[in-house]
């Protein structure tokens, strides 16, 4: 089925105007739109109307709408409304100015332990809010976490969420695994298993009862990837990966990153325990552990970085390695393997990356800012003052300046 193609300037309704194509998922296309009523950018996830005739798609769409509307949290994207048009259906969502965690890691790995714990803590807080509404996300992965221009991780895409209540069957989908549908180890939405194999819990693959601990398993995989820039299992085929996930323990992240703090490795491994009873029982427990680890680190501490030579490189499709065939982070000016970085330094150094996302806006803000500063200096005969924003964000901006995403 052909995706819906819309052009900049087209109107979804008189209120929402298409501004930019952002990307394509398994069944929908995402655009940045302008909300003329509230004068803000929003994201529109657009699906062909024909999909509404598909019972499975209709059920998934209903789950996405119901799930997202029930969650209000800083680390979870918001769903505003659903539009039903003659040729398509559009979900109007919060627009998050940033990149996926997958893109972020491709550009900036390896992360410092402090950065790993900071992102992990934020994801855990978002999951805790989702689970508090008796919802299982079921598709937690790097691609479904957005890192904003402030360095904040937000969970997105409730496309395969499952409302978790006694009236519904809590089992994983039945039937054979659609191995022939695999593209880079990703299962399509119309397959019998939804999500990405690397993040699917053993109980999911074994078609057992599911609960919120399946999301905690996926969070453990994300922590492993952020620490090592690799996958928890080495494998030569998808079938071998599935067998290992059910019958073998994942690798200790310290095998690939010897300088990984013990506490961080233990959190990662416990979250990925094969038996759900041996995992953290709630996302809040993960948050508490990561928060306690962060509190042991002085704000100015430089946590050790990993030598790039110790990272495993290779084809991410079958070898269990994420690398692109070259040095991770190679070509970045001033970033050598012997340098140590704290999360504050990481984010400050990486602001150049986010400036690519908002180059035009930054240029306008700079010109306007220079005018304001010059005028203020003339009127007040003083110097502009500087203050630090929320320490969790690790950015420093002139007092009174609005951050790029308006928060």
Residues designated as active site:
139
d(CA 254, CA 264) in angstroms, rounded, equals: 10
Contact 347, 105 (CB under 8 A): no
Contact 312, 321 (CB under 8 A): yes
Place of tokens 């937690």: 140
Compute CA distances 365 → 288, 371, 373, whole Å. Answer: 38, 10, 12
Helix H, strand E, coil C: the string for the chain is CCCCCCCCCCECCCCEEEEEEEEECCCCEEEEEEECCCCEEEEEEEEEHHHHHCHHHHHHHHHHHHHHHCCCCCCECCEEEEEECCCEEEEEEECCCEEEHHHHHHHHCCCCHHHHHHHHHHHHHHHHHHHHCCEECCCCCHHHEEEECCCCEEECCCCCCEECCCCCCCECCCCCCCHHHCECCEECCCCCCCEEHHHCCHHHHCCCECCCHHHHHHHHHHHHHHHHCECCCCCCCHHHHHHHHHHCCCCCHHHCCCCCCHHHHHHHHHHCCCCHHHCCCCHHHHHHHHHHHHHCCCCCCCCCCCCHHHCCCCCCCCCCECCCCCCCCCCCCCCCCCCCCCHHHHHHHCHHHHHHHCHHHHHHHHHHHHHHHHHHHHHHCCCCCEEECCCCCCCEEECCCCCCCCC
């Amino acid at each position: 089925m052909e995706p819906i193609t819309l052009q900049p300037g087209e109107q979804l309704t008189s209120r929402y105007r298409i501004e930019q194509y952002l990307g394509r998922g398994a069944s929908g296309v995402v655009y940045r739109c302008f909300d003329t009523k509230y004068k803000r950018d929003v994201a529109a996830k657009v699906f062909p109307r024909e999909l509404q005739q598909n019972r499975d798609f209709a059920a998934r769409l209903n789950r996405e709408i119901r799930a997202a509307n029930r969650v209000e949290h800083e680390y979870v994207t918001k769903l505003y409304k659903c539009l039903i048009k003659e040729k398509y259906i559009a979900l109007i969502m919060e627009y998050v100015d940033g990149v996926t965690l997958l893109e972020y890691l491709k550009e900036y790995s390896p992360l410092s332990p402090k950065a790993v714990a900071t992102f992990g803590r934020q994801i855990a807080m978002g999951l805790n809010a989702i689970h508090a509404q008796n919802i299982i996300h079921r598709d937690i992965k790097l691609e479904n976490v957005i890192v904003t221009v402030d360095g904040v991780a937000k969970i997105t895409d409730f496309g395969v969420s499952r409302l978790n209540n006694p009236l519904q069957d809590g089992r994983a989908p039945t039937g054979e695994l659609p191995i022939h549908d695999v593209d880079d180890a990703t299962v399509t939405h119309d397959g019998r298993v939804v999500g990405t194999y690397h993040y699917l819990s053993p109980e999911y693959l074994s078609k057992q009862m599911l609960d919120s601990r399946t999301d905690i398993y996926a969070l453990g995989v994300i922590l492993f990837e952020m620490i090592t820039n690799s996958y928890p299992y080495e494998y030569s085929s998808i079938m071998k990966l599935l067998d290992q996930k059910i019958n073998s323990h994942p690798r200790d992240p310290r095998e690939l990153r010897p300088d990984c703090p013990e506490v961080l490795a233990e959190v990662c491994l416990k979250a990925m325990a094969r038996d759900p009873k041996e995992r953290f029982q709630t996302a809040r427990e993960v948050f508490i552990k990561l928060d306690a680890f962060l509190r042991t680190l002085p704000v100015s501490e430089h946590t050790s970085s990993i030598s790039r030579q110790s990272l495993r490189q290779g084809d991410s499709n079958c070898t269990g390695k994420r690398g692109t065939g070259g040095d991770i982070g190679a070509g970045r000016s001033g970033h050598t393997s012997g340098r140590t970085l704290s999360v504050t330094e990481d984010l400050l150094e990486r602001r150049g990356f986010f400036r690519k996302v908002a180059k035009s806006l930054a240029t306008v803000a700079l010109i306007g800012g220079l005018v304001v500063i010059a005028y203020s200096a003339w009127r007040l005969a003083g110097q502009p003052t500087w203050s630090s924003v929320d320490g969790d964000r690790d950015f420093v901006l002139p007092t009174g300046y609005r951050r790029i995403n308006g928060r």
